[in-house]
Amino acid sequence: MFIIENYSLAVLFCFITMLCWGSWGNTLKLATKTWRFELFYWDYVIGVLLFSLFSALTLGSIGSQGRSFIPDLMQADFSNVSSAFIGGVIFNLSNILLSAAIAISGMAVAFPLGVGLALVLGVVINYISTPKGDPVVLFVGVALITIAILLNAKAYKNMGSNSSSTTKGIVIAVVAGILMSVFYRFIAASMDVDNFANPQMGKMTPYTAVFIFSVGMFVSNFIINTVVMRKPFVGLPVSYKDYFNGNFKTHLIGVFGGAVWGLGNSLNLIAAGKAGAAISYGLGQGATMIAALWGVFIWKEFKGGPKVNNIYLTMMFVLFFIGIGLIIYAGT
């Protein structure tokens, strides 16, 4: 299988992850102009699963190092398969909530609050489990990102939108962030992060773990998303009939969005072997700023707000980028 051999390439992969994880929400924004997010999400999950299988059968099955996908899957312990599967279930619940928050509050709010909180909590959780990097530099970076999140929340409240909608969007994003901070630990625990070239028996390679994780997402969607479809956060219930009435282009947008996220997920876990789980996860979740850039400058989600918001948003971007830089430096 393909394995990263140096830290610089691992960081590059994490930056690609950042772009992918911060940009898939654009497909949701495009689709929800005529399509409910609950329906979009089915195509998204299918895209994630298809990409994970493609990745496992290509990059995960070439080269002389590590184990190829099929042999690796056959030898995996049930406990490790279960761990990756549970990670997929937890992520699916958190991401459905994040999608709801995007539909209610927009990308520039939902991502910094939800994914930003996931970054902060996730770095702490992953560092405790597998310490790697300078802890002082790492957590100073996390502290700056926390301040950036609070500035984003302040700017959003200044927009003077409907108070109940504002509260609902913030609460959903926060719950999504808490859940999202946990999923990575489950999938990382199913792999031998310290030795992808000769992984411990029973553990999985990142390619196999990503596939099982994606299966967990897909299977759990029949329960989680079905409930959300019948009892939506906003609007009237939708049905499976509504989903199958969607046109090919709309379905394709969702599948593409899932494939974009899946690419980022695969590259992030491949990078974890060299960068460490905490740094790899933290850099990947820098997607919050990518999404905020899309929301502020492309979707104009803060247009018409008070001038003080320009200060808050500028400070948010500056602190976030400094924080990301410190997370990178912590692993050098």
Q: Where are the domains of the chain?
A: 7-330
Amino acid 206: pLDDT: 94
Amino acid 295: pLDDT: 87
Q: And the tokens for 269?
A: 């876990």
Residue range 262-266: mean pLDDT, rounded: 94
105: closest CA among 49, 97, 222, 60? 97
3-state secondary structure (DSSP) of residue 246: coil
CA 150: distance to chain centroid? 20
Predicted confidence band of residue 163 (pLDDT cuts 50, 70, 90): low
Is 218 within 8 Å of 49 (Cβ atoms)? yes
What value does the mean pLDDT of the chain take?
91
Amino acid 115: pLDDT: 84
Residue 303 has pLDDT above 90, yes or no: no
Residue 276 has pLDDT above 90, yes or no: no
Tokens 């990409």 belong to 51
Amino acid 126: pLDDT: 83
Residue range 38-47: mean pLDDT, rounded: 97
Residue 331 has pLDDT above 80, yes or no: no
pLDDT in tens, 132-155: 889 999 999 989 988 988 888 788
Amino acid 241: pLDDT: 96
Is 143 within 8 Å of 331 (Cβ atoms)? no
* DSSP, res 236: S
* DSSP, res 199: P
Nearest-angstrom CA–CA distance, 312 and 158: 10
CA atoms within 13 A on the CB side of 166: 11
Nearest-angstrom CA–CA distance, 265 and 87: 12
pLDDT in tens, 232-243: 998 899 999 999
Q: And the tokens for 64?
A: 């002389």
Nearest-angstrom CA–CA distance, 269 and 272: 5
3-state secondary structure (DSSP) of residue 191: strand
**Of the spans 101-115, 121-135, 246-260, 317-331, which averages the highest pLDDT?**
246-260
Amino acid 197: pLDDT: 87
Nearest-angstrom CA–CA distance, 102 and 108: 8
Bridge partner residues of 204 (DSSP)? 191
25: closest CA among 301, 307, 323? 301
Predicted confidence band of residue 105 (pLDDT cuts 50, 70, 90): confident
- The phi and psi torsions of 204 (rounded to 5 degrees) equal -115, 155
Residue 274 has pLDDT above 70, yes or no: yes
pLDDT in tens, 208-233: 999 999 999 999 999 999 999 999 99
